[in-house]
Amino acid sequence: MAKVLMKGNEAVGKAAIEAGCRYFFGYPITPQSELPEYMARELPKVGGVFVQSESEISAINMVYGAASAGARVMTSSSSPGIALKQEGIGYITKANRPAVIVNMMRGGPGLGTIQPSQADYHMCVKGGSNGDYHNIVLAPSSIQEAVDMVIEAFDLADIYLTPVIILADGLIGQMMEPVEFTNKKQREIPKKDWALVGKGKGERHITKNLDLNPLDLERENIELFEKYKKIEENETQYEDYLMEDAEYAFVAYGTSARIVKSAVRKLREEGYKIGLIRPKTLWPFPKEAFKRNNIKKYIDIEMSMGQMVDDVKLACEDVHKVVFYGRSGGVILSSEEIVDFGKSIMGGAL
């Protein structure tokens, strides 16, 4: 199929439908409203269902129901709305049910702004709901990658029975870029023999969320973390960009990373030995990418006051090796300021 020019929000919707998503529950919020609008328009054409809920809380709990009923289901929102969904995300996690949640981040805290931001890293990667848990978090850097990641997200959710969060931002949602729907081969999905379909002649299907006995809950949490270990081993993804001979490494994800790439190219032209490490999965975080002896400094760049930088410090096990530069509140980084900051760190280190 040839490339088409699509808005990120709509491309994500199309990708979900291609991945077999037939249920979408959502609530409008800028800058992601084109996604529920797309689903409202397109899902009925493929026999799917779109419901505009009364709140983000309700939407995520509808997702919990539909996921437990065995469906491929998605919801989307932007930062304040994702904050509201945290309750349901925890329930879906606890119940071991698959769901895909899209966050087109905007500046916060509070109502904040509608401009793009990356300030929800802590909420989505560290876990904004209660209890011991992680969610798989995928961070696309282009609309093409958003499409590919959405399709992958449905597979990951079904394989590991977990919520998968697509952590993008308003820029990815609002912009248009060429994108190709390649119908990549999807992975083998285990049978959903746990789905609520009525017990028929067999055993009851139970989707449980409560364990009154602490020892039971602890055992389940240990199992949960055994699952997380498998995910860490098998699903961690990152990109090395011009890292072969690099002595300095930018670290950035999503929208920041695409801007950092252009800064890397400019600095390379000037002779600086610098590259970019781009985590594609934020959880599991690609810790192994930071075990390099030849790197003098990791320069973490985010559209936030500094959130992923904590994970970079933990991963490289040397806080002195990590420096941070970011813009907050919906300000989009410019390539020039990243180049300038890079130079201020590297000095004359050509």
Partner 1 sequence: MSVVFQKTKGLTDNKTHYCPGCSHGIVHRLVAEVLEEMNLLEDTIVVVPVGCAVLALNYFDVDAIQAAHGRAPATATGIKRVHPDKTVFTYQGDGDLAAIGTAEIVHAAARGEKITTIFINNGIYGMTGGQMAPTTLPYMKATTAPLGRDVNIQGYPIKVSEMISTLDGAKYVERVSVNTPANVIKAKKAIRKAFEVQQKGLGFSLIEVVSSCPTNWGLTPVKAMEFVSEKMIPYYPLGVYKDETAEEAK
Partner 2 sequence: METQKICFAGFGGQGVLSAGKLLTYAGMLEGKEVSWCPSYGPEMRGGTANCAVVVSDEPVASPVITENATAAVIMNLPSFDKFVNIVKSGGTIIINSSLIDKKVERDDVKVIYVPANEIAKEIGNPNLLNIILIGALIAIEKTVSENSIIDAFTKVFGENKAKFIPINKEAIEKGIECAKSQI
Contact residues: partner 2, CB under 8 A: 3-5, 30-31, 114-115, 142, 170-171, 174-178, 255, 258-259, 261-263, 265, 332-335
Q: Which of helix, strand or coil describes residue 236?
A: coil
- Contact status: 207 vs partner 1 (CB under 8 A): yes
Site size for partner 1 (CB under 8 A): 39
CA distance 16 to 151: 6
**CB of 22: closest distance to partner 1 in angstroms?**
8
Q: Which stretch binds partner 1 (CB under 8 A): 119-127, 153-161, 207-215, 237-245?
A: 207-215
Closer Cβ to partner 1, 68 or 142, answer by number = 68
Pairing of strands 274-279, 238-241: antiparallel
Closest CA to 84 of 37, 15, 35, 25: 25
227: left (phi over 0), alpha (psi -120 to 50) or beta: alpha
What's at 243, amino acid-wise? M
**Mask for 84-113, x = binds partner 1 (CB under 8 A):** ---xx--x---x------------------
Q: Which stretch binds partner 1 (CB under 8 A): 113-121, 159-167, 191-199, 331-339?
A: 191-199
Q: How far is the CB of 257 from partner 2 (least distance, A)?
A: 10
Of 56 and 177, CB closest to partner 2 = 177
Look at residue 128 and give its three-state secondary structure.
Answer: coil
Q: Which does 49 bind (CB under 5 to 8 A by kind): partner 2, partner 1, none?
A: partner 1
User: Crossing angle for the helix pair 143-160 and 8-18, nearest 10 degrees?
Assistant: 40
Distances (CA, A) of 183 to 147, 151, 328: 11, 9, 37
Task: Provide the minimum distance between the beta carbon of 63 and partner 1 in the complex, in angstroms, as a whole number.
Answer: 6
Q: Is 70 in the site for partner 1 (CB under 8 A)?
A: yes
Q: How many residues does the chain have?
A: 350
DSSP 8-class letter at 29: -
182 near partner 1, rule: CB under 8 A: no
